[in-house]
Structure 1
Amino acid sequence: MALWHPFASDLEDRMGRLFDRALSSRLGHVWPALESDDFLHAGGDHPMDVAESPTEYRICADAPGMDPADIDVKFNDNKLTISGERKEEARQEGDDGRWVKVERKERSFTRSFVLPKNADPDKIAARLDRGVLTVSVAKREVADEGAKKIEVTTG
């Protein structure tokens, strides 16, 4: 007979969900065929929304408490990298009492996206509005090269 403890059961459930989430988000990067979005492959763990319109790709991310100076958006070798860092504020006890619980901590994130061929690297814009970062990447016309036939010779 085993002793059942509700807190241990809750911990086991939480750990199971943590491993499920970690494995499901990582396996798509090891085997891209497992990802549902095959037009835009991403790496990282900061949740972001990706939208596609006829004229652009739009990536949105929550960045609460961050200023534009805290965010870095770079494009290199067909990869868009979005990074952010929020420094912890100095907290001082005031006349109104002491801190009982402090949950807002310093945090940082980095997320990279391999962009499709029709993404225009010269037309990328980033805007931070009320704690939401929006990165817009314009689309451009790309000639469909199709499959290239290679001639087979003898000798």
Structure 2
Amino acid sequence: MEIAKWTSDIKPKISGFLGKMFGKGDDGLPANVLDSNKAFNIEVALPGLDKKDVKIEVINNYLVISSQKDYSNEEKNANWIRREYGYSSFTRSFRLPESADQDRIDANMKNGILSISVGKKKGYESNIRRIAIA
């Protein structure tokens, strides 16, 4: 008798507008997302990176945060040379909801924390209808 291996790819889901913001390209990079009255605020921990290493773009209604960094280190001594090379990259995408104003996106980075504010469109009312349970 063969025993089947069970695996789960279930990830926690967040409802409402916050759930709509999570999209493709999730490399497991944790992020905090807050839906306030005037904006969506996103915080991403990026330890060891500088703001010049990070790229933020809006592509087809997705807010895309990415970085590619390569490095090398060389030590020389009288009898030996040691060289180390490395490469790291990540991409994290958030699908922007209809209420997001793509022209009002601001970002700053301090102490390894990337903070992004995505303003909401003025006068936008979400189309939410509550259903009564009988």
TM class, shorter-chain normalised? 0.5 to 0.7
**Deviation for aligned residue 1:118:** 0.9
Partners of 2:76 and 2:31 lie apart in 1 by 36
1:24 aligns with one of 10, 13, 19: 10
In structure 2, relative to structure 1, the CA distance for the partners of 1:144 and 1:127 (3 Å cut) is closer
Calculate the TM-score normalised by the size of structure 1.
0.60
Correspondence 1:79 to 2:57: no
Distance 2:92 2:31 in 1: 9
Contact conserved, 2:106 with 2:118, CA < 8 A, in 1? yes
In structure 1, distance between residues paired with 2:32 and 2:124 = 28
Q: CA 1:49 to 1:143, structure 2 compared with 1: closer, same or farther past 3 Å?
A: closer
Q: Report the counterpart of residue 81 of structure 2 in structure 1.
A: none
Q: What's the secondary structure of 1:141's corresponding residue?
A: coil
- Cα distance change on mapping 1:37 and 1:88 into 2, 3 Å: farther
* Pair 1:55 & 2:38 matched: yes
Kept in 2: contact 1:65–1:86 (CA 8 A) = no
Distance 2:120 2:66 in 1: 22
Contact 1:118 1:142 in 2 (8 A): no
Question: Which residue number in structure 2 is paired with residue 7 of structure 1?
Answer: none
How far the C-alpha of 1:72 sits from its partner, in A, is: 0.6
Larger Rg: 1
Q: Structure 1 or 2: larger helix share?
A: 1
2:100 corresponds, among 119, 124, 127, to 119
Given candidates 92, 95, 109, the residue that maps to 1:128 is 109
Q: Which structure has more RCO (C-alpha within 8 Å, separation ≥ 6)?
A: 2
RMSD: 2.9
Tell me: CA distance 1:108–1:116, structure 2 relative to 1, closer, same or farther (3 Å). Answer: same
Q: Which runs of 5+ in 1 are unaligned?
A: 1-15, 26-33, 95-101, 147-155
1:139 shift after superposition? 0.8
Give 5+ residue unaligned stretches, structure 2. 1-5, 78-83, 128-134
- Rounded to whole Å, the distance in 1 between the matches of 2:42 and 2:124 is 25
Q: Percent of pairs identical after alignment?
A: 29
List structure 1 segments (4+ residues) > 6 angstroms apart after TM superposition. none
Aligned length in residues: 113
